[in-house]
Chain A
Amino acid sequence: MLYKKLIIMKKNISILISILFFTTIGFAQTADEILDKVDKNMSAENRIIESSMIIHGKRNSRTMTSISYSVGDKQSFTEYLSPAREAGTKMLKLENQLWIYSPSTDRTIQISGHMLRQSVMGSDLSYEDMMDDRKLKDVYSSTVIGAEEIEGRKTHVLELTAKVENVSYHSRKLWVDADYFVPMKEELFAKSGQLLKQTTLSNIKKIEGRWFPTKMVYKDMLKQGDGTEFIINDIKFNQKIPEYIFTKAALKQ
C-alpha cells in the first residue's frame, strides 16, 4: 500500500517537474519569438527617416527637424534641417565612432568616451541612444513576466537583461503590443536597478508591410523637463542609399 502511494507520488512529482520544465522553455521561446517579431518590425536593412524632435525643456520647447539615412546598425548619417541655428549640422556614425560637423566653424569633431553619454541637442536622448541600433535579441536575454493592458491594447510584458558587456542599459522592461508586435512602452534601468529612461511609443502605422510606431516620447528620469517627442514624418525602408553618404567627406558637402 505504502509502496503504491510512493509510486503515485513519484509519478506526480515527475509530471510536475515536466510541466515546470516545459513551461519555462515555453516562456523562453515565447519571449524570443516576441523579440524576433519586434525586431522584424523595428529593424531594417536600411531606412530613410524624416523626423521632428520636440524638446520640452524647463523654460521652453524647441522643435528641430532632420533627415536620417541608416544601413543596418553600423552606419547612419543625420542632417539637421531646422531651426536655423542647427541647420546644416550633420552627424555620421560608422561602427562605434561618431563625428559631428558644424557649418558655423567648418569643423568635424569626433565624439568619444563619456561625451557619448551626453544629451543630443538638449534632448532626453544621448548620443549612445542614437547610436545603438542593435537588435534586442542580440544584446539581451529575455523572459515574459506577464501581460498588461495599455490604452485598451493587450501587451506582453518582457524583462530583458543584458547578455553582452557594452550596453548602455543593463536591463529593460518592455511592453509589446500583442497584435502588432511593436513596443508600446519601455523602461530602461541601470545595473543598480535605478530607472534611467522611459519611452512611450504610439501612432502605430503599417508601413511597407510592417507595423511601426511614428511617435515616441522619451523621458530621461534624471533630467528636469517634460521629455522629448520624436515624430516620424516620413519613413522609407530598403531604399538605395549612395555609399558616399557614409563618409566623412559627405559631412562637409
Chain B
Amino acid sequence: MEVGELKTKLNLEYSEMEWVSRTHFGGLIDVPDENGETRAQGPAAGRAVDLFSPESQEIERMNIGNSVVKGVIPTKSGEAIISDDFAERFSVNIGDEVTLFGSTMNGSMMFHNFIVSGTIRFGPAMLDRGAIIIDITDAQMILDMEDAASEVLGYFKDGLYDTEKAGLISASFNEKYSNVNDEFSPQMFKLEEDAGLDEYLMLADSMSGVMITFFIIAMSIVLWNTGLLGGLRRYSEYGIRLALGEEKKHIFKTIIYEAILIGLLGSVIGTILGISLSYYVQETGIDFSNIMENTTMMFPQVFRTLVKPAHFFIGFIPGLFAVVLGNALAGFAIYKRKTAQLFKELEV
C-alpha cells in the first residue's frame, strides 16, 4: 500500500538503486466460445510489471523482448501477453479476447477481458505454465490495488548485485520504516533472505570454493612437478657447471631466479589471458537456454562470469610458488653430488 510514496522515499534516500514495483497474481485464464461461454480454461500465473513507461527497464530485465514467440508486447491498457504453450494448447490467436478470473486484493471476484497482443516462452516450465503478463497499471485497476503492489524491488544501477551494500541498505531501511509490531509495515530483504535463497547461495558459494581449492591444488602439483622434472632434466648441465668450478650455491640461486622469472612471466601472461576471457564472458555471457528447456527452476538462461580483484593474483599461487618450489626441490640434488661421482658421471 502507498507504493508511490514509498518509492519516492526510496529514490531520494537510496538513489544508487533503481526501484521498481511488481505484482504477482493468480486465477484462471478463460477462453470463450462464440456464445461467450467457457471453451477452455487453465490456471494463470500472472505478473504485472511496468511495460508502458518509456524509462522502464523491466522488459529487458525480465527478458520479455527476447522471449516473445508471436505478436508484440502490450502497448496499451487492456492488452496481455500470454504463455505460448497455453495459446497453442487452447488455439488462442493474437487479437483474441480472454477473460482473467480471480480475486482482488480484498477478496472480491475479479473478471477482466484482455486482448492477446502476443505469446511468450521464457524456457523454464515453471515460468511458462499459465504465464500472463500485463502492465502494472492494469493490475492495480482490476485487483483493487490502487497505489499498491505485491513487492518493490531495488536494482543496483550497474546491474551487479552486491550483497554487502544490499545488507547495509536493507538494515538502514528497516531501522527507519519497519515496525515488528505492525504486520503491515514495510520490510526490506536482501536477495539472499528471500524464500530460503540464502541456503542455495551459501551452497553455491561453498561448492565454488571447494572447486577453486581443488583446481589450485591440482595446478600447483602439475606446475611443481614440471619445475621438479625441469630441474632433474638439467642434471647433466649442473654436473658440467660444477666440474667447471661453479659454486653449488650459485647454481642453486640461478635455478631459483630462473624459476621466479619463468613463473612470473607465465603467471602474468596466464592472468592476462584468463581475465580477458572472463571479462568477455562477463560482458557477452553464454546462452544455455537450449539445454535448459525443461528445467523447473527460475534462473537466468545466460550465464556470465564476474571478474573480481582476487582473480588478479590468485593465478600466481600455482604459477609462481609451485614452479619455484619444484625447481628448489630439484636444486637440492646439487648439494648431494660428490666430486668423485661427478667425474665418473661425466665420463659416461
Residues of A within 8 A of B (CB): 55, 57, 59-60, 62, 85-86, 89, 99-100, 102, 104-110, 115, 118-119, 121-123, 248
A85 to B111 CA separation, bound complex (whole angstroms): 11
A99 and B32 alpha carbons, distance in the complex (Å)? 13
User: Do residues B106 and A110 form an inter-chain contact, with CB atoms below 8 A?
Assistant: no
> In the complex, what residues of A have CB within 8 A of residue B106's CB?
57, 59-60, 62, 122
Measured between beta carbons, the chain B residues less than 8 angstroms from A248 are: 37
In the complex, besides A60-B106, A108-B36, A108-B37, 6 extra interface pairs with C-beta distance below 8 angstroms are: A57-B107, A99-B38, A104-B111, A108-B38, A122-B106, A123-B107
Write out the residue numbers on chain B whose beta carbons fall within 8 Å of the beta carbon of A99. 37-38
- Is B217 interfacial (CB-CB < 8 Å)? no
Residues on the B chain within 8 Å of A119, using CB: 103, 107
> In the complex the two chains form, is A122's CB within 8 Å of B108's CB?
yes
How distant is the Cα of A121 from the Cα of B111 in the complex, in angstroms? 12
Interface on B for A, CB 8 Å cutoff? 28, 30, 32, 36-38, 41, 99, 101, 103-104, 106-109, 111-113, 184
Task: Considering the complex, give the chain A residue whose CB is closest to the CB of B26.
Answer: A118
Contact between chains at B99 and A109 (CB < 8 Å) = yes
Shortest Cβ gap from A13 to chain B (Å): 61
Q: Given the known inter-chain contacts A110-B38, A115-B28, A248-B37, please indicate yes or no for A105 contacting B107, CB distance below 8 A.
A: no
Query: How many Å lie between the Cα of A175 and that of B137 in the bound state?
Result: 49
Q: Do B30 and A107 have beta carbons less than 8 Å apart?
A: yes
Whole-angstrom distance between the alpha carbons of A85 and B30 in the complex?
Answer: 20
Question: What chain B residues lie within 8 Å of A122 (beta carbons)?
Answer: 103-104, 106-108
- By the criterion CB–CB under 8 Å, are A102 and B107 in contact? no
A222 shortest CB reach to chain B, Å? 15
Contact yes or no, B107 A55, CB < 8 A: yes
With A and B bound together, what is the CA distance between A102 and B184 in angstroms?
32
Q: How far is the CB of B44 from chain A (nearest CB, A)?
A: 11
Q: Which residues of A contact B101 (CB under 8 A)?
A: 100, 102, 109
Q: How far is the CB of A220 from chain B (nearest CB, A)?
A: 12
- Residues of chain A within 8 A (CB-CB) of B32 are 107
Whether A105 lies near B112 (C-beta < 8 A) is yes
Q: Are A109 and B103 CB-contacts (below 8 A) given A86-B108, A102-B111? A: no
Say whether chain B's binding surface is mostly helix, strand, loop, or mixed.
strand
Q: Which residues from chain B contact A60 at a C-beta distance below 8 Å?
A: 106
Contact for A105 among B38, B99, B184, CB less than 8 A: B99
Contact of A107 among B103, B108, B111 (CB under 8 A): B111
Instruction: Please determine whether A121 and B108 come into contact, CB atoms closer than 8 angstroms.
Output: yes
In the complex, what residue of chain A is closest to B1 when comparing beta carbons?
A59
A195 to B113 Cα, complex, angstroms: 38
> Which chain A residues lie closer than 8 Å to B108 at the CB level?
62, 85-86, 121-122
Find the A residue at minimum CB distance from B32. A107
Check if A109 sits within 8 Å of B28, measured CB to CB. Answer: yes
Name, among A62, A85, A107, A118, the residue most crowded by chain B CB atoms within 10 Å (CB to CB): A107
Q: Which residue of B lies closest to A112 (CB)?
A: B41
A-B contact pairs, 16 of them (CB 8 A): A57-B107, A85-B108, A102-B99, A102-B109, A104-B111, A105-B99, A107-B113, A108-B37, A109-B38, A109-B41, A110-B41, A115-B28, A118-B103, A122-B104, A122-B107, A122-B108
Measured in the bound complex, the distance between the Cα atoms of B108 and A60 in whole Å is 12
Q: Inside 8 A of A108's CB, which chain B residues have their CB?
A: 36-38
Contact of A86 with B38 in the complex, beta carbons under 8 Å? no
* Cβ contacts under 8 Å, A118 to chain B: 103
A65 CA to B41 CA in the complex, in Å?
A: 29
**Cβ–Cβ < 8 Å partners of A107 in chain B:** 30, 32, 36-37, 99, 111, 113
B residues in contact with A59, CB < 8 Å: 106, 184
Residues of B within 8 Å of A100, CB to CB, are 101, 109
Give A118's nearest chain B residue, CB to CB.
B103
A104 to B109, CA, bound (A): 11
* Interface-central residue, B32, B38, B113, by most chain A CB under 10 Å: B38
What is the CA–CA distance of A60 and B104 in the complex, to the nearest angstrom?
Answer: 13
> 5 tightest CB-CB pairs across the interface, nearest first?
A122-B107, A102-B111, A110-B38, A105-B111, A105-B113
Nearest-CB residue, chain A, relative to B107 = A122
Min CB distance A79 to B, Å, is: 13
Check A121/B107 contact, CB under 8 A, given A105-B113, A107-B113. Answer: yes
- With a CB–CB cut-off of 8 A, which chain A residues contact B107? 55, 57, 62, 119, 121-123
Output the least CB separation between A108 and chain B (Å): 5
The 8 Å CB contact of B109, one of A55, A89, A106, is A89
**For residue B28, which residues in chain A have a CB less than 8 angstroms away from its CB?**
109, 115
**Across the interface, which residues of A come within 8 angstroms of B37, CB to CB?**
99, 107-108, 110, 248
A118 to B43, CA, bound (A): 13
**Closest-CB distance, A82 to chain B (whole angstroms):** 12
Which residues of B have CB within 8 Å of A109?
28, 30, 38, 41, 99, 101, 111
CB distance from B62 to the nearest CB of A (A): 27
